[in-house]
Structure formats: C-alpha cells, structure tokens
Structure 1
Amino acid sequence: MSVAASHPAKQAASSTISSAARRALHQQRIAETFAAWLLAGPALILLIVLFFLPVFGIFAIALTDWQFGANSLSFVGFRNFREVLSDEGFRTSLVNTIVYVVIVVPGTIVMGLVIALLIESGKSCRNFYRAIHFLPFMAALTAMAIAWEALLHPTIGLVNQTLSGLGIPTASWLRDENTVLPVLAVIGIWQNLGYAMVLFLAGLKSIPQDLYDAAHIDGADLWLDRLRTVTLPMLGPVTMFIFIVVALKAFETFDTVQVLTQGGPGHSSEMLLYTLYRESFEYLRTGYGASIAVVFLFIVVTLTLIQVHVMDKRVHYQ
C-alpha cells in the first residue's frame, strides 16, 4: 500500500516541478523579449521618425495639389501619379537615370576590382595608392564637379587640349547631347571607384591561401584560372554589397547634374532626383514633386529587391 500510495505523491511533485519550470521558462522568455525590445527600441523609433513618417508624409502630400509656400491645399487623389506616368519629361529622366546606372555600376565594379588586384599584387607603396584612389570618394563632390567642368571646357580644358595635341578630334563634352550622359557616368565611376577598391581589398585579404594552393594542385596555374575559380567566387558577397550600394548612389545622382549641366542640353542629362528638385523647388509644384519622390522610391526599392534576389542565388558564402 505504501509503495502504491507513493506514486500519486511522486506524480504531484513532478507536476509541481514541471509547472515551476514552465513558469520559469515563460518568465525568461518575457525577460528576453523585453530586453530585445529595449535594445532595439531606440533604433526602431529613429527608423520610424526618420524614414516611415517622412515617407507617409510625402505620400500624403502627393495626393494633394499643394504648392510650396501656399496656405491651402486640395485633395486630388492619384491625379499627380497619373500625370507623372504620362509625362514625357519624367520618362526621359527615368531613361537617363537607368542608362547612367547601367554604365556606372559595372564600370565601378570592374575598375575597382582591377585596381584592387593591382594594388594587392604590388610590393610597395600600397597605402599611397589606396589613399590616392580613395580620395575622390572622400572629397566634396560639388568641388570636384567644378574641377571636372574646368577639365572638360571646350576650348581651354585640359582634356580637349590634350586630344588636340595628339591629333584627336575634340568635343563639347558637357554641351553635346551625345556625350554629356557618358561623361557624367565617367565622373560617377571616378567618384565611386575608391569605395569599391577598398571593399575589394578587404575581400581579397579574407581569401584563404589554402584555396589558391588547392587550385594550383588541381591545375589552375594561370592567374586567370585562379581568378575565375577562386577569387571571383570568394568575392561574391563583397561584389553583391558593392553592386547594391553603388546602384543606390547612382540612382541618387544630383550634385553633378546640378553643377555641370542643369539637366541640359535639351534634358539629355536630366536625372530623376533633378526632375524632383526642379518640379518641387523651381516650379513650386510640391504635390507633383512628392508623387515623383514616391514613384522614385518604389522603383529603387523594387530594383534593389530584384538585385538581392537574383544575385544572392549566385553568391558563394563561406
């Protein structure tokens, strides 16, 4: 009887211990959740205040006919968005921006990788070359744009004087519809080159030497074979990061257009952000400019998600 009677007591004690363990586990989870929200709270509040609220505000303004400085406004629904999508000037600036991005992003990645490989293979003055190539990224772009304007001057500019001395035909680089956008793209590559180079240098240093030794044993004796089988695959994450960052910076190009061309000649160099600025602050069509900002944000976010989705499948993570 005593043995049989002890079983309910053991079960009750076990049930009490199990309930206490569950309560302790539940309290621990509550404490961890509270700690997580406490740590993430300031960043989340800043994200809401600095990003989501402005985006909501811009979208609200885009639904009105408000003009900058006006004391009244009227709700117009999606009229501004319909006008944006049917505006030939907006389509021109969108095409110019896409062409600019298509030139700048691959050019920056290729040139940044080539310079990083050359610096990494060198034996001396590495820090000097790094500083020289990184300087454009750190310099004020407006000041550099003025320097580029002087270099590209059609008569006294160093570029045309050099070409003329070599017997090569010159051009009005910033005043010709056929050359202005490629020239701006070259300036964009020059600006972002140092940033890509530094990241590629960090990526090259993180590649284990054992992989190159294994590739050599497998018959990859030429540097091109090692580049194709080891270097490029191992630089996949760095390349994807550079691709996304440079693409975003290229979409946001404004300074060089404002300083060098003001969108001309004939809107041939007008970018999306410059169109937004002109409509909002020169023509004072704030509601219409806000609708351009919303469309611009939608395009950038969509293209970024597509880039991440497509490239992430091709990236090799260690």
Structure 2
Amino acid sequence: MPVALSGATESAARGGATSSATARRWSLAEVLAAWALVGPAAFFLLILFFLPVTGVFAIALTNWQFGARSFSFVGLANFREIFADAGFRDSLLNTVFYVSIVVPGTVVLGLLIALLIESGKSCRSVYRAIHFLPFMATITAMAIAWEALLHPTIGLVNQALAAAGLPTANWLRDENTALAVLAVIGIWQNLGYAMVLFLAGLKSISRDLYDAADIDGADLALDRLRTVTLPMLGPVSMFVVIVVALRAFETFDTVKVLTQGGPGHASDVLLYTLYRESFEYLHTGYGAAVAVVFLAIVVTLTLSQARTMDRVVHYL
C-alpha cells in the first residue's frame, strides 16, 4: 500500500511538473504574442514621440541656433531667460485668456446646440453637417475668410454694424479686440466637434431615466436637464473639456495667418512665441526651452483638470 501511494505520488508530481512546464510555455507564448502585437505601436511611439521629446530637452540645454554647426552646453540658462522675459509672460497670459474664453464658450454652446438638434423633429442631419463643417474645413482657408469678414472697411461685420448704427472697429489690428476676436474664431472652430460628442452622449442616455424623473416630479425640461441629462453627460463633458482645452492651448494657425502675434504682441500665444523664436529669430535653444515649459504646463493642467472633474463625474 505504501508503495502504491508512493507511485501515485510520483505520478502526480510528474503530472504537476508537466502542467507547470506547459503553463510556463503557454505564458511565454502569450508574452511573445503580446509583444508582437504591441511592438509596432511601441516602436512608432518611441520614434515619433519619445525620441523627439528627448531631443527637445537636450536642445533646451544648449545655445544651438538653427543651421549652426557648433553649439555649447548652457544648462538652465535658457529657462532662466524665459522666466525673466516679459514677452514670454505676456504670451502665457494671452494663452490663458484665450483658453478661458474658448473652453467654456465651446462647451456651453456645443451642449446647447446638441440639445436643440436632439429635440428637433426634422433635418437633424443637415443641422449636424452645418455645425460640423468648421471643424472639417482647412483652418488657413477659414482664417482668410474671417479676415475678409473682419476687414475694417469692406468687411461684412463692420458694414452690418454701421447699418445698425453701432460703432465699428479694426478688429484684428486693435490690441483691445484682437485676442478676443481670435477666441471667438476658436469657439466657432471647435463648436462642431463638441456638438457631435454631446449628441453621441445624449443618444446613449436611456429613456427610462427620463420616465423615472417624470414619476418623481421632474416633469419640466429644466428639471430633467438638471437631474438626468447633465449628470449622465458627465464622462462626455469631461472628455470634451480636456480635448477642447488642449486644442485651445495649441492654437497657432489663426494667430499666424490673422495677426502674427500683433498688434504689439497683444495676441501673442505660447506656440507662436515658440515658432518665432525658433524659426524667425533662430534662437533654437531658447525655443526648445519654451517647448519644454509649454509641455509641462499642458501636462500639469490636463492631469489636474482630469482629476478635478473625475471627482464630480458620475460613471455607470
């Protein structure tokens, strides 16, 4: 009997060892398969993102000028120059002002238009296409169209204001209005994108929730909006705010085409400062330092924004 038990024990041990070896072989195969699937994406992420970012960090520590054959290591001198530069502070404040107008304006108007389209009975596709066209259009071409509309003498905006007896202005050449006008164009540009996302979120809300709200006494449209629609749109709203904020921070095309940062740097934003220092003044090391600071600001604000909104967002 003990011999039989001993044989059984040995057989079980061999079986366990075989199962363990098979499990290890399958685990290795799974790891190889995973790397085969992830490898191409990881390779391109390394080549297209991490290596360029590392290069920008390295250039920011030098005094290299675009096209120069030699350069010197200057450490943090470029960063000290940035924080002592009044022009950089002005472009940072202009960027914050621009974002503070574009983000809430885009989110509120995008949600309002989405609610109006969703509540309509006909021509929904037409309205969606009309509002989404600015997002699909080439920004440079649309900026030129806006420049014609805002022309101080022959522009339709000033002509309409003059016909109504209201004061006109040189909108893009007045330091008091240039940045605000660019922010309005930014809202117009991003409005269709926010609208489409909100429409998708509205369609995902179960009608049973509105029926339950009616039973509980929330029979008015404003009550349903407050108790059902807005809470259920929380995840979509968070995504829209973050994406629109990133796009607002990255604004460049309209500034380059319409104002070139003027008048008197009144519409200068961070990305245009980066471009001007790097490719117009050829201060590439300084421009790389601006890019590093810009990246740090965007990452910090995005993470803090996501964490803050995640506390008030309801997930199903």
Provide the residue aligned with 1:188 in structure 2: 186
The one-letter amino acid paired with 2:32 is: F
SS at match of 2:309: helix
Provide the residue aligned with 1:179 in structure 2: 177
Provide the residue aligned with 2:158 in structure 1: 160
Provide the residue aligned with 2:78 in structure 1: 80
Per-residue CA deviations over 1:107-141 (Å, capped at 9, x if unaligned) read 11110010011011111111111110000001011
- TM-score normalized by structure 1? 0.97
Counterparts of 2:208 and 2:285 in 1: how far apart (Å)?
59
SS at match of 2:130: helix
Provide the residue aligned with 2:288 in structure 1: 290
The one-letter amino acid paired with 1:103 is: I
Match of 1:140 among 134, 138, 141: 138
Provide the residue aligned with 1:259 in structure 2: 257
Greater Cα shift, 36-45 or 301-310: 301-310
Write out aligned runs for 1:59-74 (5 A): 59-74=57-72
Q: Alpha carbon RMSD of aligned pairs, Å?
A: 1.0
Q: Give runs of ≥4 in structure 1 deviating > 3 Å.
A: none
Counterparts of 1:28 and 1:234 in 2: how far apart (Å)?
43
Write out aligned runs for 1:86-97 (5 A): 86-97=84-95
The reply on whether 1:202 has 2:204 as its aligned counterpart is no
Provide the residue aligned with 2:16 in structure 1: 18
Equivalent pairs counted in the alignment come to 316
Identity of aligned pairs, percent? 71
Q: Per-residue deviation at 1:199?
A: 0.8
Unpaired runs of at least 5, structure 1: none
Write out aligned runs for 1:205-220 (5 A): 205-220=203-218
The one-letter amino acid paired with 1:200 is: F
Provide the residue aligned with 1:52 in structure 2: 50
SS at match of 2:62: coil
Greater Cα shift, 84-93 or 168-177: 168-177
- TM-score normalized by structure 2? 0.98
Counterparts of 2:75 and 2:311 in 1: how far apart (Å)?
40
Counterparts of 2:125 and 2:86 in 1: how far apart (Å)?
48
Q: Per-residue deviation at 1:229?
A: 1.1
